[in-house]
């Protein structure tokens, strides 16, 4: 399982049908259209003992034969959130803002793709390439930049452009986004 949530229910209280009924509603980001959801139950006092929930009616009070997932794919960008933290890095070795964290979300892309993350100076010269090949790239990704060029030399103070790009499936071509970061020390 790639991710999950842990929900704690109160002590079971008998209902009018001879057991407790719970409706579970949650919101999440769906990175791929064919995402599968699985539900397991366990008890806190029986660590490691899990029971998978399967389709079927446990009671005639509620229909349990289906799972509904509603996702609105209209207008969902293939490249979602792109964050640069902090907005200004100070790679002077004091442990405070020494590195830039580049966070991005990719939606609805399958197969093996290169997620290009490149740092450029304002003349347009690429100073660092953080690109990596990713299997099934849909999901959240994090890249780190330490203010250094390809040779490991600390770059001069200034403003730099961070460009994130990947080749999309189908006819959408290259999806790209650029943000600015400052480097001082």
Summarize pLDDT for 90-121 with one digit per residue, the tens.
999 999 999 999 999 998 788 899 999 999 99
Locate the domains of the chain by residue range.
1-71, 79-183
Give residue 74's pLDDT band: very low, low, confident or very high (50, 70, 90).
low
Average pLDDT rounded to a whole number, residues 36-42: 71
Q: How many helices (H) and strands (E) does the chain have?
A: 0, 11
Give residue 78's pLDDT band: very low, low, confident or very high (50, 70, 90).
confident
Mode of pairing for the β-strands spanning 100-106 and 139-145: antiparallel
Give residue 144's pLDDT band: very low, low, confident or very high (50, 70, 90).
very high
Residue 13: is its pLDDT beyond 50?
A: no
Average pLDDT rounded to a whole number, residues 134-138: 88
Average predicted confidence (pLDDT) for the chain: 81
What is the spatial distance between Cα 96 and Cα 9, in angstroms, rounded to a whole number? 41
Query: How large a percentage of the chain has pLDDT more than 90?
Result: 43
Tell me: domain 79-183, CATH 1.10.10.10, correct? no
Q: Specify whether the CB–CB gap between 81 and 104 falls below 8 A.
A: yes
Average pLDDT rounded to a whole number, residues 131-143: 92
């Amino acid at each position: 399982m790639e991710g999950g949530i842990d929900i704690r229910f109160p002590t079971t209280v008998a209902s009018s049908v001879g057991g407790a009924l719970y409706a579970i509603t949650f919101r999440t980001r769906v990175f791929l259209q064919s995402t599968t959801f699985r539900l397991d139950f366990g008890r806190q006092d029986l660590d490691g003992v899990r029971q998978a929930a399967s389709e079927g009616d446990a009671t005639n009070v509620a229909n349990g034969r289906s799972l509904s997932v509603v996702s609105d794919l209209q207008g969902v960008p293939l490249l979602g959130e792109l964050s640069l933290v902090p907005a200004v890095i100070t790679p002077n070795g004091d442990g405070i803002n020494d590195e830039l964290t580049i966070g991005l979300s990719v939606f609805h892309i399958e197969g093996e793709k290169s997620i290009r993350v490149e740092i450029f100076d304002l003349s347009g010269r690429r100073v660092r390439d953080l690109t990596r090949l990713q299997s099934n790239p849909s999901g959240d990704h994090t890249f780190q930049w330490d203010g250094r060029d390809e040779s490991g030399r600390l770059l001069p103070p200034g403003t730099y452009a961070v460009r994130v790009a990947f080749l999309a499936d189908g006819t959408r071509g290259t999806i790209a986004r650029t943000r600015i970061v400052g480097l001082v020390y």
